[in-house]
Amino acid sequence: MRLLVVEDEATLRRELVQLFQQRGYTVDAVDTVFAAVEHGMSGAYDCIVLDYMLPDGDGIEALTQLREAGCTTPILMLTVKNDPKDRVLGLNKGADDYLGKPFHPDELLARVGALVRRSPALTDDEVLEHGRAKLHTRSRSLEYDGRTLELTSKEFALMEALFRHKHQVMTRDQLIAKVWGPDAEVADSALDTYIYFLRRKCSNIGWKNAIVTVRGRGYALQPEGE
């Protein structure tokens, strides 16, 4: 399952990412209306957790833009506003649920879990392709020439980032932000270790040199046809 967390307060954003990752979710985290809409329209998420107050606008603005553009992903709004009028406004604009701050982590997990179970995305397995390799988003598995490899949550997040940017070189900072969250303090060596073991696992199903190192820049998928 993949979540998008939209929260501008850095400490809370980091805590939310860790909370959801501990429950097995793959999490992307952003902190503006612009980024919320940009990411939300990708269709890559089973649920969006959206803060009401953001530095470049408010969650209602992001919610409205997403719904008007056809985004059907379930959205849970977090808010410190207790006025029922604010909640009614959000629900009328397309929010699926509301949770006031402060909240208990178990309640947030339960509400997100309920939304994910209703998510239309659950019926689809988006398949990302690169040459003879296929990444199945629903099962978090990698297929190469008919052979399948099961991936851990971090391995999947790493491969998904590379597949979705398959014609680009991704820097270490970009990959760390995608896999561990934008505020994570992770050493480059930790990422390099994941890359090393992921290459070995890919090699075991016949995909040699799946991830290439671009010296001085970062990592990329092996160019198609090689």
Q: What is the mean pLDDT of residues 64-83?
A: 86
Q: What is the mean pLDDT of residues 6-33?
A: 93
pLDDT surpasses 60 at 220:
yes
pLDDT the model gives residue 45? 86
CATH number, domain of 199, equals 1.10.10.10
**What is the side-by-side order of every strand in the sheet holding 26-30?**
26-30, 2-6, 47-51, 75-79, 97-100
What gap in Å lies between CA 151 and CA 123, rounded to an integer? Answer: 20
Q: What is the mean pLDDT of residues 38-55?
A: 88
Q: Are 159 and 166 in contact (CB under 8 A)?
A: no
Q: Which residues pair with 144 in a beta bridge?
A: 133, 147
If asked whether residues 100 and 132 sit together in one domain, one would say no
- Helices and strands in the chain: count of H runs, count of E runs: 8, 13
If asked whether residues 142 and 93 sit together in one domain, one would say no
pLDDT the model gives residue 125? 65
Highest mean pLDDT among 116-130, 146-160, 197-211: 197-211
Average pLDDT, the chain: 88
Give the Cα-Cα-Cα angle 182, 207, 163 (nearest 5 degrees): 30
Q: How confident is the model at residue 178 (pLDDT cuts 50, 70, 90)?
A: confident
Helix/strand/coil for 81 = coil
If asked whether residues 73 and 180 sit together in one domain, one would say no
Confirm whether 226 is domain-assigned: no
Burial of 3 (0-12, 13-18, 19+ CB in 10 A): buried
DSSP 8-state symbol, 171: P
pLDDT surpasses 90 at 189:
no
What gap in Å lies between CA 207 and CA 226, rounded to an integer? Answer: 10
If asked whether residues 20 and 118 sit together in one domain, one would say yes
- Residue 153 sits in which domain range? 127-221
Confirm whether 109 is domain-assigned: yes
pLDDT the model gives residue 124? 57
State how far Cα 114 lies from the chain centre. 18
What gap in Å lies between CA 195 and CA 16, rounded to an integer? Answer: 25
Buried b (16+ CB within 10 A) or exposed e, 176-198: bbbbbbbeeebeeeebeebbeeb
If asked whether residues 115 and 139 sit together in one domain, one would say no
pLDDT surpasses 60 at 109:
yes
Q: Mean pLDDT lowest for which of 76-80, 94-98, 119-123?
A: 119-123
Tens of pLDDT, residues 134-161: 998 877 889 999 999 988 777 888 999 9
Last residue of a domain, one of 122, 142, 158: 122
If asked whether residues 100 and 170 sit together in one domain, one would say no
Last residue of a domain, one of 69, 87, 122: 122
pLDDT surpasses 60 at 123:
no
pLDDT the model gives residue 122? 46
pLDDT the model gives residue 225? 63
